[in-house]
A = this chain, B = another copy of it.
Amino acid sequence: MYSVKHAAAMTGIPVDTLRMWERRYGVVTPLRTPAGYRLYDDAAIARLSAMQALVKAGWAPRRAAVQVTSGTTLGPTDVTDASTLDTEGAAEPGDDLDLLVSLAVDFDAERLTRALDDIFTRRDLEEMADSWLMPALSRLGTAWQRGEVSVAAEHFVSAAVQRRLASAFDSAHAAPGAPRVLVGLAKGSRHELGVLTFATMLARAGLDVTYIGADVPPDSWAIAVTVGQPAAVVLGVPSTDDLPVVRDTVAVIAAAEPDLPTFLVGRHQSEVGTGHLLGHSLASAAEDLARQLTA
Contact = CB atoms under 8 A, between A and B. Distances in A.
Interface of A: 1-3, 5-6, 9, 39, 50, 52-54, 56-60, 63, 66-67, 71, 73-74, 76-77, 79, 107, 109-110, 113, 150-153, 155-156, 158-160, 162-164, 166-167, 169-170, 174, 180, 184, 187-188, 208-217, 219-221, 223-224, 227-228, 240-241, 243-245, 247, 270-274, 277
Which has the most chain B C-beta neighbours within 10 Å: A52, A79, A219, A228? A228
A164 to B, nearest CB: 7
A210 B110 CA distance: 9
A210 B50 contact: no
A170 to B, nearest CB: 5
Contacts of A166: 162-163, 166-167
A163 B227 CA distance: 23
A54 B271 contact: yes
B156 A211 contact: yes
A251 to B, nearest CB: 11
Contact of A151 (B74, B211, B216): B216
Q: What are the 6 tightest A-B residue pairs by CB atom distance, in nearest-first order?
A: A53-B273, A163-B166, A152-B224, A151-B220, A159-B213, A152-B220
List the number of copies, as a whole number: 2
Contacts of A208: 109-110
B273 A210 contact: no
A165 to B, nearest CB: 9
Contact of A167 (B170, B184, B219): B170
Given A152-B220, A241-B73, A210 B107 contact: yes
10 contacts: A5-B58, A39-B63, A50-B273, A57-B272, A107-B210, A109-B180, A151-B216, A152-B184, A155-B212, A156-B212
A113 B166 CA distance: 13
B63 A213 contact: no
A213 B167 contact: no
Contacts of A158: 213
B6 A60 contact: yes
Given A158-B213, A220-B151, A58 B164 contact: no
A113 B211 CA distance: 12
Which has the most chain B C-beta neighbours within 10 Å: A71, A180, A209, A220? A220
